[in-house]
Amino acid sequence: MEMNWDTTKKMRPGKNILFIGWIFFYLICFSPHVFSQAAQIDEEVIKKSTLKVFIDCQWCKLADIQKEISFIKLVEEQDKAQVYVFITKQDTASGGIEFILSFKGQKEFGGDNDQLKCPTDKDKEEKELLRELINTLKMGFMRYVGKTPISSLISIRLRDEVKPTSVEDKWDFWVFSISGNTFLNGQKLYKSGMLFGSFSANRVTPELKVRLSVGGMYNQDKFTFDDQIIKSSSNSQNFTGLIVKSLNDHWSVGGYLSVLSSSYTNTKFSLSPGPALEYNLFPYSQSTRRQLRFLYRLDFNSIWYQEETIYEKTHENLLKESVSATFEVKQKWGTVSTSIEGSNYFHDFSKNRVRLVGELSLRIIRGLNVNLNGSYSRIHDQLSLARSDTSFEEILLRRKEVATTYNYYFSVGLSYTFGSTKSNVVNPRFGSGGQGISISF
């Protein structure tokens, strides 16, 4: 069948206007209904598939997070949540902070867990820190939102064009610190002065940890009693060095170097180098949540004493070993940390020391904790005790170490956190710097 089109005929102006009028009438009367119906559908989808989240963070402003992330609903009870988020933060070696966000799937997302980190600068304004934290939260929620109907309403884009760049640090990750303090105090019958200074250089990366520090202290007290003047002073100088190499996610190897002079311990000069080996039962990547570290250390000590010791020594070379076990865990109910360390000298195994340290922080309500701290040591290795008698003033002012077979401390208290808190260093290997004992909050 042939169809003929007559292009010579044109629509009359009246009919043209009528046709356009019908179009406008349709748009005005029917399109708002269509748009509102589509909006209602979207709202229903959002309402039914909004991700229920419980955020465990003592210092976070949950109202701001809820306002900025509209595709989640914060719940007050953990068992009602589909996703549990545990947020901590810790200092970095460069002087910044790093947020650690642990995501744990619950209910239909059970077993779907993840962890994200958000490094930033602690000097930034609070609003900027919050924005970076919220952006990281959004990224973490995507693995769960992507499995819900609400994913069809979310679009992902790159804010800036990716440009190939190479990160260069002119300091090569070294961080230096210099400090000096002086303290003066006095009255008519008493004067006291203290001078302290230190310098440290640290370089911490996931593969290598280097800590170097040198410091000195001088303290003097002067008492006047019945026209009698009593003066007492103490001083110490020290250098400590630590280097740790990460072998894998469980093993680390390193070494220590310590140089010390102290009037309190009757030490004119001591030099103590030694290797060490550490094994962490859990991967170091889980160090912000749990650790079980075993550290073995071997030290060669060459010591010159200020006074002859009770063993009639003015200088001796000693070989010493120590082993420690440190357990740390951070859970929803709080934090527990305990460590036991034992050491002995090879020339006489009866010259030994055992130390037990424990800390427990129980969370009562958000921000409110009960804290218990304690330490106990059995001491049988005071080789540096001076042979001469210790004066009454030196005992009261603790100017010299005195013989003992034990020491201890214990404390219990409440803490309420409403501002910034600090955590462990990023690289937890060998603890906080050398004793094989580290405690975290």
Window from 42-46, 105-109, 231-235, 402-406 with minimum mean pLDDT: 42-46
What average pLDDT does this structure show over 223-236?
87
Local confidence band at 166 (pLDDT 50, 70, 90 cut-offs): very low
pTM of the model: 0.59
Determine the average pLDDT of the residues in 250-269. Answer: 95
Q: Residue 25 phi/psi, 5° resolution?
A: -60, -40
How large is the average pLDDT for residues 24-30?
47
Q: Which region among 130-144, 164-178, 285-299, 420-434 has the lowest average model confidence (pLDDT)?
A: 420-434
Instruction: Give per-residue pLDDT as tens, 116-148.
Output: 999 888 778 888 888 889 899 999 999 898 888
Query: Does the pLDDT of residue 314 top 90, yes or no?
Result: yes
Extended beta strands in 380-419, E state? 406-416
Residue 25 binned pLDDT confidence (cut-offs 50, 70, 90): very low
The pLDDT value recorded for residue 44 is: 61
Q: pLDDT above 70 covers what percent of the chain?
A: 80
What distance in Å separates the CA atoms of residue 384 and residue 309, rounded to the nearest whole number?
6
How far is it, in rounded angstroms, from Cα 327 to Cα 376? 17
Summarised one tens digit per residue, pLDDT across range 40-99 is 445 565 666 788 999 998 878 888 888 888 888 899 888 889 999 999 888 777 778 888
Q: What is the pLDDT of residue 395?
A: 80
**Domains of the chain, start order:** 49-153 (3.30.160), 249-416 (2.40.160)
Residue range 333-339: mean pLDDT, rounded: 89
Distance CA 301, CA 319 (A): 6
Using DSSP's 3-state secondary structure scheme, residue 423 falls into coil
Flag whether pLDDT at 32 surpasses 50: no
Q: What is the pLDDT of residue 414?
A: 86
d(CA 375, CA 407): 8
Phi/psi zone of residue 281: left (φ > 0), alpha (ψ -120 to 50 degrees), beta? alpha
Q: Which of 31-35, 171-175, 230-234 has the lowest mean pLDDT?
A: 31-35
The answer to whether 97 and 109 are in contact (CB under 8 A) is no
Tell me how far apart the alpha carbons of residues 365 and 367 are, in angstroms, rounded to a whole number. 6
pLDDT of 230 reads 84
The per-residue pLDDT for range 268-310, each reduced to its tens digit, is: 999 999 999 999 998 877 777 788 999 999 999 999 999 999 9
Higher pLDDT, 150 or 441: 150
For a pLDDT cut of 90, what percent of the chain falls above it?
A: 44
Mean pLDDT of 403-407: 93
| Band (17; pLDDT cuts 50, 70, 90) | low
Write the CB contacts of 374 (distance below 8 Å, at least 6 apart in sequence): 357, 358, 359, 408, 409, 410, 411
Question: Bigger pLDDT: 257 or 395?
Answer: 257
Could you give the CA distance from residue 391 to residue 382 in angstroms, rounded to a whole number?
A: 19
pLDDT at 18: 52
Distance CA 218, CA 237 (A): 9
DSSP code for 146: T
Least confident residue range of 25-34, 108-117, 211-220: 25-34
Q: Can you give the pLDDT at residue 84?
A: 94
At 165, is the pLDDT very low, low, confident or very high (cuts 50, 70, 90)? Answer: very low
b/e burial code for range 345-360 (CB count within 10 A of at least 16 → b): beeeeebbbebbbbbb
DSSP string spanning 327-357?
EEEEETTEEEEEEEEEEEETTEEEEEEEEEE
